[in-house]
């Protein structure tokens, strides 16, 4: 899917390829390992993934922690930094090759002034971002690592083999060896 | 502050008392201990606090956990339930007497269809909700309970004395005795 299709899907509209959206959309490519947003950088872009996987890391109490993975047909950015235009406390890295669409902060802010549609789209995307965060908070409070892995596996069956095991363990907040035990149990 | 003033503040508008907003606003009162949203109820209202404090609880792995407190001049609801119209996994309780303004789900959805302003307002409020959740996630990952208490104390100095100590401990995810030690240390 490209961003325009995603936009049509979210708003139930039908923009054709040559019609202008309320804000310009550009494309970008990142190779595996490429850093999209650095720690302390102010986020100026929001991305849509045509293909690939990215990870969001945060500097934890003692180690770095992975707080999210984003996959095909999802939007991402260092959202707190984007919304507040303050330095990012997360770092975003492509963990596979990525084909992306992107929208610039300044273009979006301009569209917000007069476009009902731009506000509606951003409201819905932000709602989804909120739901995602709340879900993850709940999972940490009420589910075991095994349940969380099983859920992640169920939702992203096609992609999960592309993420190194140590990254999945870092995301679940467990030791890689504990994850190996969980994986064996689930696949047996 | 009443909701209309908050609305003007967020959108930098100047609605007078007798002017209609893009959606109707009603008022509500809850006594201390009153339950505003029950577990498994579908959230149909979003609230603004004129005065009072509410808590949001979730059923944790073994015990109930408090995931948030909301204070004067803040908006709240069981937001995931509100956005998805599915049963709430949080319960909201007034922990002091509360004077509230409220907006109904159906009225808001109707306003979203044609009102740029309603979409803009909801986008900004949802952005703030996202930032709040992301901040709490970060705090849990990178800060000690002592740092989190000190921050909560700094932000809500005037209100914190109204929240029972065991509730604050439940929010910080620590034992009430650990909290007593932290409090003694900070006030000494």
pLDDT digits (tens, 9 = 90+) for B135-156: 988 888 888 888 888 888 888 8
Which chain A residues have a beta carbon less than 8 Å from that of B109?
none
DSSP type of residue B162: G
Among residues B138, B2, B19, B136, the alpha carbon closest in space to that of B75 is found at B2
The answer to whether the CB atoms of B65 and A141 lie below 8 A apart is yes
| B84 → chain A, closest CA residue | A131
DSSP string spanning B24-88?
--EEEEE-TT-EEE-TTPBP-EEEEEEE--EEEEEE-SSSEEEEEEE-TT-EE--HHHHHHTSB-
Residue B61 has a pLDDT of 67
The answer to whether the CB atoms of A129 and B130 lie below 8 A apart is yes
Residue A61 has a pLDDT of 67
DSSP string spanning B150-161?
HHHHHHTTTTGG
Q: Decide if A122 touches B, using CB distance below 8 A.
A: yes
Ranges of chain B whose pLDDT falls below 50: none
| A80 → chain B, closest CA residue | B131
Residue A115 to residue B125: CA distance in whole angstroms: 18
Residue A124 has a pLDDT of 97
The answer to whether the CB atoms of B59 and A129 lie below 8 A apart is no
Residue B157 to residue B154: CA distance in whole angstroms: 6
SS3 state at B175? coil
In Å, how far is B136's CA from the nearest CA of chain A? 9
| A135 → chain B, closest CA residue | B80
The answer to whether the CB atoms of B141 and A114 lie below 8 A apart is no
Q: Decide if B58 touches A, using CB distance below 8 A.
A: yes
Residue B42 has a pLDDT of 98
Strand partners, A49: A100
Q: Where are the alpha helices (DSSP H) in A1-71?
A: 3-11
Which chain A residues have a beta carbon less than 8 Å from that of B119?
116, 119-120, 123
- pTM of the model as a whole: 0.92
| CB-nearest partner of B127 from A126, A136, A144 | A126
In Å, how far is A50's CA from the nearest CA of chain B? 24
Strand partners, B68: B56
SS3 state at B128? helix
Residue B53 has a pLDDT of 96
Residue from B58, B113, B137 to probe the interface with A (highest A Cβ count within 10 Å): B137
Which chain A residues have a beta carbon less than 8 Å from that of B137?
67, 133, 136-137
Residue B188 to residue A129: CA distance in whole angstroms: 41
Q: Decide if A10 touches B, using CB distance below 8 A.
A: no
Q: Decide if B109 touches A, using CB distance below 8 A.
A: no
Return averaged pLDDT per consecutive 10 residues of chain A, 188 residues in all. Answer: 95 88 97 98 98 93 86 97 97 97 98 96 97 90 86 84 90 89 85
Which chain A residues have a beta carbon less than 8 Å from that of B122?
123
* Contacting B residues, span 69-98, partner chain A, CB-CB under 8 Å: 79-80, 83-84, 89
Q: Please, what is the Cα angle at A80 between A59 and A71, to 5 degrees?
A: 80
Q: What is the ipTM of this complex?
A: 0.91
Among residues A161, A154, A179, the alpha carbon closest in space to that of A169 is found at A179
The answer to whether the CB atoms of A119 and B114 lie below 8 A apart is no
Q: What are phi and psi of A85, to 5 degrees?
A: 50, 45
Q: Decide if A39 touches B, using CB distance below 8 A.
A: no
| B81 → chain A, closest CA residue | A131
Among residues B74, B77, B75, B69, the alpha carbon closest in space to that of B95 is found at B69
SS3 state at A39? coil
């Amino acid at each position: 899917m490209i961003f325009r299709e995603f936009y049509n899907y979210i708003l139930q509209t039908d923009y054709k390829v040559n019609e202008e959206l309320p804000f310009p959309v550009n494309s970008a490519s990142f190779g595996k390992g490429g850093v999209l947003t650095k720690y302390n950088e102010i986020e100026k872009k929001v991305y849509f993934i045509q293909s690939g996987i990215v990870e969001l890391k945060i500097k934890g109490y003692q180690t770095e922690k992975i707080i999210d993975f984003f996959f095909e047909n999802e939007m991402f950015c260092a959202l707190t930094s984007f919304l507040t235009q303050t330095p990012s406390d997360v770092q975003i890295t492509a963990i596979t090759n990525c084909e992306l669409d992107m929208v610039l902060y300044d273009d979006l802010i301009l569209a917000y002034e007069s476009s009902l549609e731009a506000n509606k789209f951003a409201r819905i995307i932000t709602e989804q971002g909120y739901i995602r965060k709340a879900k993850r908070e709940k999972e940490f409070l009420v589910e075991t690592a095994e349940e969380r892995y099983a859920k992640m596996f169920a939702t992203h069956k096609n992609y999960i083999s592309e993420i190194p095991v140590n990254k999945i363990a870092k995301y679940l907040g467990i030791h890689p060896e504990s994850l190996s035990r969980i994986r064996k149990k689930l696949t047996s």
